[in-house]
Amino acid sequence: MKGMLATRRPLGRSAVTVCRIALGCGNFGGIGSAPEFFGQGLSEDQAVELMDAAWERGITHFDTADAYGGGRSEVWIGRWIRSRGVRPQLTTKTYNPMQARADRGLRPERIARQLRMSLERLGVEHVELYLAHEFDPQVPLPESFGAFDQAQAEGTIRAYGVSNFDAPQLAAALAAGEPQAIQNSYSLLARQDSRELLALCAERDVGYLAFSPLAGGWLTGKYRRGEPFPAGSRMTQRPGPYQGFVAGQTFDALDRLQAIASSRDTSMAGLALAWLLADARVTQIVIGPGRPEHLAIAGEALERPLTDKERIAVEGALAAGAGRGTERGTDTEAKR
């Protein structure tokens, strides 16, 4: 599996290449960027165990943000790097406040400050990819991208992009600067980018990175019709982003997907990741497991790729109307 995980793809028009699957670190010391959840999520010991397991399996790209866990995520990744003497590829992001009532946004001076602090927490001189974590209507995009261009010229970032942008916002970004990547939520149950935005990425050679590939755990089969949501799941911690999935048609679609997964002797989660990997428009998938054993689905998806016939069957399972969730801007669910 290590060899398959080491397979790399160009990141849009940049000189950077990335592996197909990255470790999402949004649940390190919090549940994404939401200040009310800072200090929750995984402990540092649990995060270290997860990073060790990911690295051992060949997952060598870690995805974080300055505000994940109020900075804890970057600090813990930095400590892990120093203690293990290895250097993963790194994606980090900025926009959200580092604590309740702190500043946010994409003002050039804030971008420069936040990048400097991220590099300090991570203990590195550069990151491979730096993302604008949200669209900022208060700051003209050319001003924000001027700060990104400056950082790229100085060598502190290798490439830059955006996250949680819709198609018109990405089009505006491409008119204002040179973003090489976009990272959005995308899964079998949240396919809002399938047509317009992914087509724009293909047309303009922008790398597409998919987070929340399992739709907050819905594509693992853990949520069952008529049963309470499992303790500690996203639906008990932060249900808002996924409330639209609580519908009979979603459970019907999940039943059909489970039948397809069982017929090919894989898990539903492995099937969901394999569906994403089969899409040539998707450059990278960001997974956010809670425990080391959850990493097994990455290998399952790579080792059991979908055939064209299976891909058609999977998409047909959703034809009744499920899979129309809109998770735009919900990265706070910690890439899960």
What residues act catalytically?
68
113: which residues sit within 8 A by CB, 6+ positions away?
none
What are residue 129's DSSP bridge partners? Answer: 91, 159
Paired sense of beta strands 61-63 and 21-24, if any: parallel
Distances (CA, A) of 233 to 221, 280, 332: 12, 31, 14
The single-letter DSSP state of residue 324 is B
User: Which residues have C-beta within 8 Å of that of residue 154, sequence separation ≥ 6?
Assistant: none
Chain-centre distance of CA 233, in angstroms? 18
Question: Alpha helix (H) ranges present in the chain?
Answer: 2-5, 44-57, 72-84, 108-122, 141-154, 167-176, 196-204, 234-237, 248-263, 268-277, 296-303, 308-317
**Cα–Cα distance between 322 and 189 in angstroms, integer?**
7
At 184, the amino acid letter reads N
Q: Which of 167, 188, 183, 206 is nearest to 286 (CA)?
A: 183
- Provide the pairing of β-strand 17-19 with 207-211: unpaired
Give the tokens for residue 270. 């492995």
